[in-house]
Chains A and B, each alone.
Chain A
């Protein structure tokens, strides 16, 4: 069986939340009116994503990406590429670099878990040469985004059930694997993995880490 290192991309490897990507894409729609409408839609998700105590972060994620409804696949692809080049490509956090290096050195399989859409997260995973990527996928029908995400939606919280299913399908020993998270919502994933680690955690995750005696890595 393999050992893996699960990284919640937003917070441990990158500073920018997925919301920023959605807002940027919405803000570059065709025409000013369309931009304003889409940005308004994405803005609805902002308070939800910052309200960490929600039962499921997936709701906020769903609302975030709803702002792209009706956008063509071509535009999503092209803008995602531009967003990646301008705001993601060279923004890997130093702490993330260190953790990735160590995981590779120890022969662990690198699994990235991201709230972002595949068009952005996929490029990031390719650049990092990650072994697996779990991210959101926009539902596309007739070359246009429907505004919905394909299941399973990767939200603020990713349940342990998902991790166990993934480990079984990929022959991964969860007890010997590591998981890195930075936000309160990541605690469910971290608690399902044998060796959880909080990376520059927010207030909620710091408290959970202290309660559970998880190691904390600062930037």
Chain B
């Protein structure tokens, strides 16, 4: 087995990355910047937003995003110098030909690029289909066109395990080209063309979504996200003159250690589900024995590094599963109970309200059959709210009161009835959103149970030396789900995701002060510091790993 040396492989390389403004992209970029100073250059394709160009948008992320905290901590205020020397941000539109670059620009840029990593994508499960087609299909193909012009002619595409589609099964790390999850033979290019053409005459989002869903389901993909991502895989793997490796993460969740414990961003898959279990609607439609295939975001970032290294050495595999269901499975039953226990902790805190500590703390979530109606489930409460609203709306209290009381009470009663009616409407709307969410997630949390074969990444990890295994090794086997769920996942979601669900904001870092001294001195300091810190970190991690290994062997000896 030939050793795989990550730092050596990345040394002097130029990597082009898309999707660095997203959750996973940010973490991977931060990991590369922090742990692999050997990389010569990184070009980031990004899009401007809300009147801010791509460069300014990335600068804002670099200054404030907690994902880049380790990189900023490594360099201090000099991090800007390092960034300006190492990172180029190019304004791009992935859905346009050559990502919006001219032929000359593309040739000039790509002639120096060794590897293209396409992280960008639209992760909504049921978006307006044209958006998903643009982002997940045309975007991937346009990036592939760029990658074909690169010096290395290699591309890593980030997909999802859930392209496996229906039915439940053990999913190999292999793609049968032109065969859908249900085993139907199809032509991916024709499928894309037909899908795009059929969207044109449909003028409502609902109609387009229903149509695309039906097309996807006919082939075995349960929603538009997996349908478009699945089609993209089939299309990319048949492109000639391009070496494509596909990294398929399962459900990407809070970081175990990098960029920091619990880091998460945006409203992801398990955020709403975890939030739901902390409310009075704590019946969770899932099958307790089904697997909840969760992987921490830093595990995915490590896996991307491994896949990228193998690809650059010409040893890349077609598919890499980044999943836990085969090697260290977590069942829904266990995840739901751990979530309930985590909420119990949260609701038991001193700052909890009386309702939280006296009621919610003792109302524990549990998995239930999806179609079985129960007291206090979403449908029942919604029905009650609607009936109440129908009863209250437009009623005049004066009609129900004796004449002598009308003058005193009618106005006040009408006001109260109106307010109660509004509350019922809001409750109905909120629960409607919850209901939609549960319906969207149902194939993944209730109907199907997949086991994703995960052999490629452990095999790559075995080729690493001890120090690099600590930094980049595939580490799903080491996850203690109880500790992860209680100390990382739920607290992480509580900080980074649940406030967004409630319409609040999440914390951002304060920008560091500007560096002093000349630019050259700053650069020198940064270079020196970079070398020292990375060496120190590697040494520290090695020591940490020895200590952990010592503790483990002690425990197993005593067992």
Contacts and interface: CB of A to CB of B under 8 A. Distances in A.
A82 B337 contact: no
Nearest to A35: B362
Interface stretch (A70-78, A95-103, A200-208, A209-217): A70-78
Contact of B486 (A31, A78, A143): A78
B366 interface: yes
Interface string A52-83: 00000000000000000000101101100010
Interface in B338-374: 338, 340-341, 344-345, 348, 364, 366
A75 B333 CA distance: 12
- The interface centre, meaning the residue of A72, A78, A143 with most chain B CB atoms within 10 A of its CB, is A78
A80 to B, nearest CB: 12
B538 interface: no
B345 A74 contact: no
A77 B337 CA distance: 12
Contacts, number: 25
Interface string B242-285: 00000000000000000000000000000000000000000000
B482 interface: yes
Contacts of A74: 334, 337-338, 341, 482
Nearest to A30: B364
A82 B348 contact: yes
A82 B482 CA distance: 15
25 contacts: A30-B337, A30-B340, A30-B364, A30-B366, A31-B364, A31-B366, A72-B334, A72-B337, A74-B334, A74-B337, A74-B338, A74-B341, A74-B482, A75-B337, A75-B341, A77-B482, A78-B341, A78-B344, A78-B345, A78-B482, A78-B486, A82-B344, A82-B345, A82-B348, A143-B334
Contacts of A31: 364, 366
By DSSP majority rule, is chain B's interface helix, strand, loop, or mixed? helix
Interface in B76-131: none
B508 to A, nearest CB: 32
Interface of B: 334, 337-338, 340-341, 344-345, 348, 364, 366, 482, 486
Contacts of B340: 30
Interface in A25-41: 30-31
By DSSP majority rule, is chain A's interface helix, strand, loop, or mixed? helix
Contacts of B334: 72, 74, 143
A31 B344 CA distance: 13
Nearest to A32: B362
Contacts of B337: 30, 72, 74-75
A15 B338 CA distance: 31
Interface residues of A, number: 9
Contacts of A77: 482
A194 to B, nearest CB: 28
A3 B493 CA distance: 51
Contacts of B364: 30-31
Interface in A138-172: 143
Nearest to B361: A28
The 7 closest A-B pairs by CB, nearest first: A78-B341, A30-B364, A74-B482, A74-B338, A74-B337, A72-B337, A77-B482
A63 B289 CA distance: 30
A77 B341 CA distance: 10
A153 B75 CA distance: 57
Given A77-B482, A78-B344, A82-B348, 16 more contacts: A30-B340, A30-B364, A72-B334, A72-B337, A74-B334, A74-B337, A74-B338, A74-B341, A74-B482, A75-B337, A75-B341, A78-B341, A78-B345, A82-B344, A82-B345, A143-B334
A143 B482 CA distance: 12
A168 to B, nearest CB: 19
A77 B334 CA distance: 13
A31 B345 CA distance: 16
Contacts of A75: 337, 341
A75 B482 CA distance: 10
B38 to A, nearest CB: 42
Nearest to B338: A74
Contacts of B338: 74
Contacts of A82: 344-345, 348
A82 B344 CA distance: 10
A214 to B, nearest CB: 34
Contacts of B486: 78
Contacts of A30: 337, 340, 364, 366
A31 B482 CA distance: 21
Contacts of A72: 334, 337
A156 to B, nearest CB: 27
Nearest to B486: A78
A58 to B, nearest CB: 24
A143 B335 CA distance: 13
